[in-house]
């Protein structure tokens, strides 16, 4: 009986503490930096369809989500590095973002 009373007291305390907590006045950030999604070896930009949809559902604008398609699908960074750098520069110029 004593255990039941203690367990009930703990449950009631938890419930009251949750109900007494004031609601958060924090707002979701509406200004996001652009996101460049980069696939791995032999991947493609369409691999990010689900991730893009998830980010949009979380408040991201679709025009801030980018995905690159590398010409070299073997993962050669000597080829893909400059292509990625140029792509990011283009995204920054297009969006006016600093990062």
Q: Tell me: the pLDDT tens digits for 24-82?
A: 444 455 678 999 999 988 899 999 999 999 999 999 999 999 999 999 989 899 999 99
Could you report the per-residue pLDDT of 5-33, keeping only the tens digit for each?
455 555 445 454 454 545 544 445 567 89
Cα of 87 vs its chain's centroid, Å = 20
- Averaged over 75-92, what is the pLDDT? 95
* CB of 68 closer than 8 Å to CB of 39: yes
Regarding pTM above 0.85, the answer is no
What DSSP line would sit under 61-76, residue for residue?
Answer: -GGGEEE---S-TT--
Nearest to 29 by CA among 2, 4, 64: 64
Burial class (CB in 10 A: 0-12, 13-18, 19+), 83: middle
Whole-number pLDDT of residue 48: 95
């Amino acid at each position: 009986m004593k255990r039941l009373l203690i367990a009930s007291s703990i449950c009631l305390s938890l419930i009251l503490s949750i109900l007494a907590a004031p609601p958060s006045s924090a707002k979701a950030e509406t200004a996001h930096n652009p996101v460049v999604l980069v696939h791995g070896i032999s991947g493609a930009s369409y691999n990010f369809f689900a991730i893009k949809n998830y980010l949009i559902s979380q408040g991201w604008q679709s025009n801030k989500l980018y995905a690159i398609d590398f010409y070299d699908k073997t993962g050669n960074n000597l080829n893909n590095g400059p292509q990625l750098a140029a792509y990011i520069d283009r995204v920054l110029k297009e969006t006016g973002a600093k990062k």
